[in-house]
Structure 1
């Protein structure tokens, strides 16, 4: 890799880091290309050489976040209920370490932004260990909807937790663990043993 490419990668990484910090402090809807450029020491027009639009930067961040979550889930092994539990724990672990990335991919939609089709396989990668735990190879199998509904429940619990909706009501970790155990118990008997 030449000096020019290394410099471009360094600047793009700095832009993504500044954008993530901005999302952490003000949310994805308030993401400002001008503020990011200022944070990394670029004139405001220069940022567009790296990311031509705000949407392109958001897409890069989403792809990176899905990749990171997919990598965390890819380490899950085992079978049946144990694999389900381990995948759910890995999901929560990643989300609690990176709550703003979790919110970026699963939280409130960003006004005016629609994720492009290239994010779909990355989102599907998140479901793969849960499908595997349930003995499902493809999303078009009969029980796939049940797996997706259970995964949506886990994501919903994390979304409510990060939104502060359980404060003073219940321990979110205990509630999550309860849901995971219930789900693991609902796997087909031959898989949950």
Structure 2
């Protein structure tokens, strides 16, 4: 009993470790059963805590999932943006982003399924929609910058449809994320390799006349 009480105290290093354990358990649980079917009781059991202890860290399931989603999006988007800050052509920089996305998938194996579950609830939960919108704005900024750089360097025609090209890249990454939530990891990786092949062969983006 004394050990259980100590585990439940949100204080210091132990408190942060417990918080992270709750978030990891919630990520896996929501990814497996969906947001609507997930319960704080099941998350607590998975984390090895009492229900009372978990509520000391996160008063509601919505707040818990919102924190998880926000941290995941910030981490993954930050890593993808840094992956594009390398020398090279638009194709090479986007391939660098896709390669980093595979690393993110390995580091956060349940993230894509969690994102899929949250999307289904975003119409009725504004906090979820806000995080999704933030991700989209970040991606638009990344891809708009890549396209503008490619036009400035002469890789793309000066009259290229900037927004259309950026939207194509966004659609590719969102589609690959959706695929990653529904198929085995090897199949997801194979699809990313296929996109990379189209990019490096020059068949996916417009050419200068």
Query: TM-score of the superposition, structure 1-length normalised?
Result: 0.71
Q: Residues 97 and 176 from structure 1, CA distance in 2 versus in 1: closer, same or farther, beyond 3 angstroms?
A: farther
Which of 82, 93, 97 matches 2:92?
82
Aligned mates of 2:64, 2:26 — CA distance in 1: 8
Structure 2: state its 5+ residue gaps. 1-9, 150-160
Aligned twin of 2:137: 124
Is 1:72 matched with 2:79?
yes
Q: Give the stretch that moved more between structures: 76-85 or 24-33.
A: 24-33
Q: How does 1:15-164 map to 2 (within 5 A)?
A: 15-76=22-83, 77-79=86-88, 80-95=90-105, 97-106=107-116, 109-111=119-121, 113-114=125-126, 115-117=128-130, 120-135=133-148, 143-160=162-179, 162-164=181-183
Aligned mates of 1:93, 1:69 — CA distance in 2: 10
Whether the aligned pair in 2 keeps the contact of 1:106 and 1:159 (CA below 8 Å) is yes
Q: Residues 68 and 124 from structure 1, CA distance in 2 versus in 1: closer, same or farther, beyond 3 angstroms?
A: same
Relative contact order higher in (CA < 8 Å, ≥ 6 apart):
1
Q: CA deviation at 1:89?
A: 2.5
Aligned mates of 2:26, 2:206 — CA distance in 1: 40
Q: Give the stretch that moved more between structures: 142-151 or 32-41.
A: 142-151
Q: Give the stretch that moved more between structures: 106-115 or 95-104.
A: 106-115
Structure whose CA Rg is larger? 2
Aligned residues: 180
Q: Residues 108 and 120 from structure 1, CA distance in 2 versus in 1: closer, same or farther, beyond 3 angstroms?
A: closer
Which of 168, 177, 186 matches 2:205?
186
Aligned mates of 1:106, 1:144 — CA distance in 2: 25
Q: CA deviation at 1:144?
A: 3.0
Whether the aligned pair in 2 keeps the contact of 1:66 and 1:126 (CA below 8 Å) is no
Query: TM-score of the superposition, structure 2-length normalised?
Result: 0.66
Root-mean-square deviation (Å) = 3.5
Whether the aligned pair in 2 keeps the contact of 1:33 and 1:54 (CA below 8 Å) is yes
